[in-house]
Structure 1
Amino acid sequence: MHSALRGAVLEAHRRMERHTEGVRASCRKGCAFCCLAWVVVGLAEAEYLWTQLPPHLRLRVEAEGPVRLERLVRQKGHPRLPTRHFLEARPCPLLTAEGACGVYPHRPLACRGVLTDLDARYCAPGVVPALRGRARLEYLRQLGPRHGPEHYLRRPWQAAERLARQIWAAEQQIRGFTVVGELVGLLYLAGKPAFQRALALGKRAVRRWLAERGLLGGRWGFWVG
């Protein structure tokens, strides 16, 4: 990994940690509903995370990555792909049996920005859409200007998005392009020599490589630019 890109990722992570200092979140170790989500990251964070994976987690990514990519090929144009994935409650392969992130100090910005100060039961797949009557009114009563989307805290969410875009901008300057896509699939590709060879050849080669495998474009497929 290019040292300047690694530095950009680490600096963004440090800034995110400073941004969330003092945030009173209800998130705790073992509360892992957000680890069931369809997470989107940029290539630099995926490359960095791959270098931090211990062997047993690399094996998990090697097993789950092709499953995610095959799903992308079939469903990248479906508007509800992330919702479908979340409702299936298929956990991130980096999640431990105790419900903790196996690479917590190195987790991507997309994960760092998902925080809430409401009860964790609202984060479970399908719970909020299913609320009716008094239960829904009670949920809505707890929401305020600090929330959004839904019951997640707005400021960490927005900070994570802003810092991620800054990493992408750094990639544009250093590499000439970035790749954005689903976390596990992109993490899997980051460890593949064939994908690395395409990266070395530049943006057109990467676009062609992804397109030949049906992974480029659509609503949720990989984006290169």
Structure 2
Amino acid sequence: MWQDLMNEVRDQQALFDIAVRDWIAGYALKQGTIHCGKGCHACCSLAVNCTFTEALAVSTSLADRHAAALADHAAKIRSAAFAAPDFPSFLRARRALGGCPFLDSDGACGVYNRRPFSCRSLLSTKESRWCGADFSTLSREEKQGFVESLDQSVAAFPMHYVKATQDLGQDFESCAAGRMAETFGFGLYGNLPVLVFLEREHRLSETAPKGADAVREQVARAGCNHPFLITFSP
């Protein structure tokens, strides 16, 4: 069952990548620039959420060099979630942890071909320094200058990422979540490193056929039962 779901996600990701390339080409014809490139990883300190099927695909292709850092990174994310008084505070704490555990030493994504829709859809219309900027530390003038520099015809205002690809990514993501729900009776969504850790250490994919309650119990035993980390649907 899981292999079929992962194959479907892989096919959907291929279609999504074609759509993204077409969008970038069309934007370039309008003299627009996307500043993303290999080794550009400022956005990789952001919290990344995805469906469990996408996380499972990452888990099955994870190199040893990434697996070694995963447990420690997931533990830090878990601690940040339980310590945070609200979601914005958790996002700031997540960013303070540094880059994704799946980055290689040269800053390239070590799971690039398996990265989830949320990563694939994030296209920057501004230089990479803005992807890693802490806007809470900027002056009022700097914030105003940033907002005024945005191409509001394409950006997900007030941020500088492309809205069209994010919307499309959410559509594909919803489809993947729906297929899991059709297969097992529930959907599972959450923080990418935490989901990958739960699969590698606790084999959630083997528990899923037993139902949502069994998976909830396993997530709780692993200490990851927090809404900033894991959510179930419906």
Aligned positions, number = 221
2:181–2:187 Cα contact (<8 Å) kept: yes
Which of these residues, 79, 83, 106, is aligned with residue 70 of structure 1? Answer: 79
Q: Which residue of 1 aligns with 2:40?
A: 31
Structure 2 stretches lacking a partner, 5+ long: 25-32
**Percent identity over paired residues:** 21
User: 8 Å contact 1:8–1:170 — kept in the other structure?
Assistant: no
Distance in 1, matches of 2:209 and 2:81, equals 24
Letter in 1 for 2:119: C
1:161-183 deviations in Å (ceiling 9; x for gaps): 11111100011112222211111
| Counterpart residue number, 1:108 | 116
Deviations 1:176-219 (A, max 9, x none): 2221111111111111245344324211111122234442244x
Partners in 1 of 2:146 and 2:136 — Cα distance?
8
Instruction: Give the match for residue 139 of structure 1.
Output: 146
1:122 match: 130
2:53 aligned with 1:44? yes
- Partners of 1:116 and 1:153 within 8 A in 2: yes
- Aligned partners of 1:131 and 1:164: how far apart in 2? 36
Which amino acid in 1 is paired with 2:8?
A
What CA deviation, in whole Å up to 9, does each residue of 1:37-71 have, x standing for no partner? 11111110000111111222222223322332333
Deviations 1:94-138 (A, max 9, x none): 1112111011111111111111122222112304761432x4443
Partner in structure 2 of residue 6 of structure 1: 6
Amino acid at match of 2:187: T
For 2:215, give the aligned amino acid: V
Amino acid at match of 2:179: A
* Alignment partner of 1:54 is 2:92: no
Whether 2:20 is the aligned partner of 1:20: answer yes
What TM-score does the superposition give when structure 1 sets the normalisation length?
0.88
Q: Which residue of 1 aligns with 2:28?
A: none
Q: CA RMSD in A?
A: 2.1
Contact 1:25 1:117 in 2 (8 A): yes
Separation in structure 2 between the aligned mates of residue 224 and residue 124 of structure 1, nearest angstrom: 30
Which whole-Å deviations, capped at 9, do the CAs of 1:6-63 have from their partners, x for residues lacking one?
A: 1221122112101111414111222211100111111100001111112222222233
Q: d(CA) in 2 for partners of 1:205 and 1:37?
A: 30
Task: Give the aligned residue type for 2:9.
Answer: V
Question: Take 1:14 and 1:66, find their aligned partners in 2: how far apart are those partners?
Answer: 32
Residue 159 of structure 1 and its aligned partner are, at CA, apart by 1.0
Moved more, 52-61 or 123-132: 123-132
Moved more, 3-12 or 150-159: 3-12
Unmatched segments (≥5 aa) in structure 1: none
CA distance in 2, matches of 1:129, 1:165: 35
Q: Say whether 1:188 aligns with 2:178.
A: no
Cα distance in 2 for partners of 1:79, 1:178 equals 22
Structure 2: distance between partners of 1:129 and 1:19: 36
Answer whether contact 2:122 2:165 (CA < 8 A) is retained: yes
